[in-house]
Amino acid sequence: MFEFLLPTGSSHDVDLVGEYYRRDKILQIAGGRPSDDEPLRADIKVELVPEPDNPHSPNGDAISARVGGQLVGYLSSADARKWSNVIQRITASGATAITNGNIFAYNRRKWDQSGAQKTEVELNIRVGLPEPDMLLPINVGPLELVSILPWGAALQVTKEEDHFEHLFEYVPVRGEGMVVLTMHRLENVLRNGTVKELVEVRLDGERVGQLTPTTSQHYLSTIRHAEDMGKTLGVWAKLKGSGVAAELVIYGARATDLSDKWLRSMPVLPSFVAEADHYDVPNAYISDGPSARTSSRGPRQASSGQFGGNQSTYQVGNKSVTIGDKQRRYSPGTYRVAGTSAIVIFAIFGLLFAAIPGIGPILTIGVIVLGVIVNLGQRRIAKALEIERGLS
């Protein structure tokens, strides 16, 4: 399958869920464990794989995140619903969606019920995902022979105002979108007869602008290399416009930033299937998550609301408490502090309400009772987390 690098740059703005259950594997991928003095950070390439057969996804829109084929987490239910259609379209086109990711891990000291201290690794994985309609090019022409440059710093295209009529045909309703431009050598003859070579950019074969002489020098050698390889060099560009103007900004790695591996292979874009409401993608579910596990300290039930069984229910006293990856981001101690703070804050408000004539005392009692309820809820979450982590 093709590896399709999403146009995300170096941003890591979407949190994965389910990392807690795969800590050992993730730390191995990251190259070790964090020290007590310094957290561990690692940049990774993440494969986004649709799992239409995931038993915890009633709508079949689960998206798993993998590194080198190893499952490290999932997009949350809400994020999967948001991005599933476009990721499935990429997969149905015979490509694997690849994005940039970042692992962040650090040691946190905790205390169990007996007062003994232990150190536990906390970690988080974030991946880059622009809005769904900014992931695929809006070009209408064929791109199968275009080798697109890796993402690079933003550079403005010039003279695009001379080609507004053509650009206007591509401006989406929301006012901006991503296109793939092709880059070509252009001989520019100066008034004194000197010939300067520039870079001309085209959209679906038609000229839409050029780069400045200085900027062109960063790409001319790569264009020649592509010509020698029998390919056309492409670059991601953001098209932004309205009914009266349009502009193009390219995001392509300069010649000095290209790896030998990329220069040797110069991978081309896949042929994307037509946009649709539904795509046929292969089954890909990997059953390695917590849904296959049980706890001797309380019942665990995988919820259909989180992929890979990331929600679990525990019996705390006479109450059932359900926790998910959102709750697992914080320690039990954090929830206990939050509960105590709630009582203090609500008590302060209660004292303020006491000064209200007539209903003041009633409001005071109500607010304090509410603070107690919030405190108990936070403490139940803390207890459920301790049960799950084997701390009690």
What are the pLDDT digits (tens) for 5-58? 999 877 778 999 988 788 899 999 999 988 888 899 999 999 999 999 998 888
The answer to whether the pTM exceeds 0.75 is: no
Q: Looking at the domain assignment, is residue 270 inside a domain?
A: no
Q: Looking at the domain assignment, is residue 86 inside a domain?
A: yes
- When divided into structural domains, the chain yields a total of 3
Assess whether 116 and 214 both reside in one domain.
no
Whose tokens are 């000229």? That residue is: 207
Assess whether 115 and 28 both reside in one domain.
yes
Assess whether 155 and 114 both reside in one domain.
no
Predicted confidence at residue 383, as pLDDT, reads 85
Beta strands in the chain (DSSP E): 2-5, 14-17, 40-51, 62-67, 70-75, 95-111, 117-127, 146-148, 154-156, 176-189, 195-203, 206-210, 232-241, 246-251, 312-316, 319-323
Assess whether 98 and 170 both reside in one domain.
no
Strands 95-111 and 2-5: parallel
Predicted confidence band at 311 (pLDDT cuts at 50, 70, 90)?
A: low
Q: Looking at the domain assignment, is residue 121 inside a domain?
A: yes
- Segments forming the whole domain that contains residue 359: 295-388
Predicted confidence at residue 97, as pLDDT, reads 96
Percent residues over pLDDT 70 in the chain: 89
Assess whether 367 and 330 both reside in one domain.
yes
Assess whether 25 and 125 both reside in one domain.
yes
Assess whether 122 and 6 both reside in one domain.
yes
Q: Looking at the domain assignment, is residue 18 inside a domain?
A: yes
Mean pLDDT taken over the chain: 85
Lowest mean pLDDT, pick from 30-34, 278-282, 318-322: 318-322
Assess whether 206 and 242 both reside in one domain.
yes
Q: Looking at the domain assignment, is residue 286 inside a domain?
A: no
Predicted confidence band at 354 (pLDDT cuts at 50, 70, 90)?
A: confident
Q: Looking at the domain assignment, is residue 274 inside a domain?
A: no
